[in-house]
Amino acid sequence: MDLSSLLTVEQILPQMHATERWGAIVELVDLLGKVGKIKPEDHDVVLRALNQREETMSTGIGFGIAIPHASSDKVTEVVAAFGRSMGGIEFDSLDNAPVKFVVLFVVPRDQFQMHLRTLAAIAKLLNDRSVRESLATAGDAKDILAIFKSRGNASK
C-alpha cells in the first residue's frame, strides 16, 4: 500500500493546530469529513473506533511519528489523512518525544490484511530519516504529497 495513493493535497495538513493526541486525531478526522471521505453522520462513530484503539496503546511509535488507525464499517475503502506539526504534539509516544508527523487511516472492518499492510507500509516509509527530514522542510501540502509520491515509487 503506497501512502501517496491514499492521499490528495486536500487530505494533508501542513500545519496542525493540535498540541495533544486526541486533538490531533479529531483535527484529521474533521479534515476527512470536510473532503468527503467520511460522512457527517459517521464522524463520531469513526472517532470512537480511533479512540478505542488509542486507549489500548498509543499509536505514537517514536521518531516523531504517530499512526492512529482503526477499522470501521463506516468506510468502504481505506481513507487517510496526514498532518505535520512544527511545534510537536504530546502523543504518549513510545519514546516520550513529541510527534511531528501524524498519519491517520481508517480501513473497512472486513479488511484486516489491508489494515496490516497499510500500517506496515506507512511505518516503513516514515522510518526512513531522509523522508522525515524532507517532510519537515516541505513548503506546503503539494510538496508533502510529492515526497510521498517519489518515495512510494522508489520503494516499488
Question: Which residues contact residue 126 at a Cβ distance below 8 angstroms, ignoring those fewer than 6 apart?
Answer: 63, 65, 67, 101, 103, 132
**Whether residue 69 lies in the annotated active site:** yes
Identify the active-site residue in 17, 43, 69, 115. Answer: 69
Q: 38-47: which pairs have CB atoms within 8 A and are 24 or more residues apart?
A: 38/74, 38/75, 38/79, 38/106, 39/74, 42/72, 42/74, 42/75, 45/72, 45/74, 46/70, 46/72, 46/74, 46/75, 46/106
Q: Which residues are catalytic?
A: 69
